[in-house]
Structure 1
Amino acid sequence: MKKPFTLFLILLIIMFLLSWPYYMYLYETGKIDFSPIDEQDYRGIITFCDFPHWSTDDPTGYNFIKKKIHDFEYYHPGVIIEFEPLKNSDRYEKVSDIVSDSKPDIIPITSDSPLIYDDRLEPLNKYIDRNYKDSLKEQVLDSFTYNRSIYGLPLGMYTSVMFINKNLFGQKEIDVPQDGEWTYDEFLEDMTKLTYQTGKKEKKSYYGLSMYIEGSYNLWGILMSDGANIVDDKGIVSLKGPQAESGLKKLIELYEKGTIDPVSFGDDYSKVWDSFTVNKESAVLVDESYKVQYLKYLENKNKLFQFDIALYPEGDGDVPLTLSPKVYGYGITKQSDKKKLEMAYKFVKFITDSQESVEKIGYIPVKKSIPLNDELMKKIDKAVKYTDYTPQNWHDKNVKINKAIIDGLKNKEDAKMILNKIEKIIN
Structure 2
Amino acid sequence: MKGKMKLTLMLLLAFVLLLSACKDDSSGETDEDGNWTGTITIWDGPRWAQEGDTSGEDGEGNKYFWLEGKIEEFEKEHPGVKIDLVQVPWAELPDKLGVNIAGQSWPDIAPVDISGSAVSIDHIEQGVIEPLSDFFTEEELGDFYENALDAYTFDGKLYGIPNSLTVHAMLLNLDLFEEAGVEPPANGEWTWDEFVETAEKLTFDRDGDGEIDVYGFSTYILPGYYEAWPFFYMNGGQPLSDDLSEFTFNSPEAVEAIQALADLKLEQEVSPVSMGGADVGGTFQAWASEEQRTVAMEPWATWAITSAQTAYPTNFMVANYPTGSSGEPVTIGGVGGWTMFKQESDAKKEVVAEFMKFISDTDEQFLMAQEYGIFPARISAADQNPYADNPEMARAQEMSSQVAMLPRHPEWKKIDEIIQRELQLVFNGEKTAEEAMATAKPEVEALLE
The 5-angstrom pairing of residues 227-266 of structure 1 reads 227-230=236-239, 237=246, 238-256=248-266, 257-261=268-272, 265-266=276-277
Report the CA distance between 1:358 and its aligned residue: 4.3
- Is the aligned partner of 1:124 residue 2:131? yes
When structure 1 is superposed on structure 2, of 378-387 and 203-212 the one drifting more is: 203-212
- 1:393/1:412 Cα in 2 relative to 1: closer, same or farther (>3 Å)? same
Distance of 1:368 and 1:404 partners within structure 2: 38
SS state at 2:379 partner? coil
Does the Cα contact within 8 Å between 1:159 and 1:384 map onto a contact in 2?
yes
Q: Distance in 2 between matches of 1:71 and 1:100?
A: 27
Equivalent residue runs for 1:20-419 within 5 Å: 40-43=36-39, 46-50=42-46, 52=47, 66-76=65-75, 78-86=82-90, 90=91, 94-101=92-99, 105=107, 106-109=110-113, 112-113=117-118, 115-118=120-123, 119=126, 121-125=128-132, 128-130=135-137, 131-196=139-204, 206-214=214-222, 215-230=224-239, 237=246, 238-256=248-266, 257-261=268-272, 265-267=276-278, 269-278=280-289, 279-289=292-302, 291-298=304-311, 303-322=312-331, 324-333=332-341, 345-353=353-361, 354-360=364-370, 361-369=372-380, 370-371=382-383, 372=385, 373=388, 375-393=391-409, 395-396=412-413, 397-419=415-437
Greater shift after overlay, 59-68 or 250-259? 59-68
User: Structure 1 regions of 5+ residues with no counterpart?
Assistant: 1-36
Per-residue deviation, 1:57: 9.8
- Mapped to 2, the partners of 1:55 and 1:383 lie a distance apart of 28
Percent identity among equivalent residues? 19
Counterpart in the other structure of 1:9: none
Query: Offset of 1:308 from its aligned partner?
Result: 0.8
Displacement of 1:229 after TM fit? 4.4
Q: 1:53 to 1:269 in 2, by over 3 A?
A: farther
Q: CA deviation at 1:239?
A: 2.6
Distance of aligned partners of 1:263 and 1:75 in 2 relative to their CA distance in 1, 3 Å threshold: farther
**Residue 165 of structure 1: how far off its partner (Å):** 1.4
**TM-score normalised to structure 2 length:** 0.70
Describe the superposition over 1:220-240 as per-residue Cα deviations: whole angstroms up to 9, x where unpaired. Answer: 222123343456689875234
Distance in 2, matches of 1:346 and 1:212, equals: 43
TM-superposed deviation, 1:274: 3.0
CA separation in 2, counterparts of 1:211 and 1:58? 36
Structure 2 counterpart of 1:420: 438
Q: Structure 2: how far apart are the matches of 1:424 and 1:404?
A: 13
Q: Give, in whole Å, the separation in 2 of the partners of 1:334 and 1:263.
A: 47
Provide the alpha-carbon RMSD of the alignment: 4.0
Shift of 1:409: 2.5
- Give the counterpart letter for 2:375 in structure 1: I
Show CA shifts across 1:157-176 (max 9, x none): 23211111111221111212
With the length of structure 1 as denominator, give the TM-score of the two structures. 0.73
Structure 1 residues 421 and 351, CA gap change in structure 2 (3 angstroms) = farther
Q: Which ranges of structure 2 fall in alignment gaps of 5 or more residues?
A: 1-32, 77-81
Alpha-carbon distance between aligned partners in 1 of 2:89 and 2:131, rounded to the nearest angstrom:
24
